[in-house]
Amino acid sequence: MQLFSGLYNKVLGWSGHRHAPGYLAVLSFAESSFFPVPPDVMLAPMVLAKPDKGWSFALLTSIASVLGGVAGYLIGYYAFDLVSPLMKEFGYWDSYLTTKDWFDEWGFWVVFLAGFSPIPYKIFTIGAGAVALSFFPFLIASIIGRSARFFLVAAIIIFGGENMEHLLKKYIDIIGWTVVALVVGYVLFRLI
């Protein structure tokens, strides 16, 4: 089933739109505080479409994502009582409790690793605010982790060039279904 190749082609088309950088910034901001779609899905095709602007797209994504992370921190710090029922409803509560334990033990490093990894970053931004993690270390860890992630994505696409584009087109459905399988596996693992 070629669901992801169609979506990939659509996102690739959007990536060339004149407002694409604005869309990327909004997506990056939203993903760090409440939205479930990671900005990589738009960043990679945008870098493919305009490799000469790849570094500026990575910088834009990093800045918007860190600002979204700050918004998530503020949500956790000032409005956790309002947000916690939503976290329970959407299945993020157990992840939040695990995150809270991690903050108690590792603080800065948790934020850094969450910023770099594909783990839903919003859980960590809201969690950092909810446990009142010191803001300055949170901000530094977010800047380093998010920038490293998005500049790595841009570098892979820029230096992979045409070969990367062909590989993505060829394997996008396999990659997409693998990610879906991993997410479903993770959810089932958490339920069991």
Q: Which pLDDT score is estimated for 123?
A: 80
CB within 8 A of 47, min separation 6: which ones?
53, 54, 57, 58, 153, 154, 157, 158
pLDDT at 58: 96
Higher-pLDDT residue of 38, 142? 142
Q: What is the pLDDT of residue 20?
A: 85
> Is the dihedral angle over the CA atoms 25, 130, 179, 106 positive or is it negative?
positive
The amino acid sitting at 94 is D
Task: Find out whether 12 and 49 touch, Cβ atoms under 8 Å.
Answer: yes
DSSP label of 131: T
HEC string of 35-46 equals CCCCCHHHHHHH
CA distance 18 to 154: 19
Q: Which of residues 190 and 185 earns the better pLDDT score?
A: 185
For 112-171, what is each residue's pLDDT tens digit? 887 877 777 888 898 889 888 889 999 999 999 999 999 998 998 898 877 776 776 676
Checking if the pLDDT of 102 tops 90, the result is: no
Residue linked to tokens 């959007």:
14
| pLDDT class of 57 with cuts at 50, 70, 90 | very high
Of the candidates 87, 85, 95, 89, the residue with the CA atom closest to the CA atom of residue 187: 95
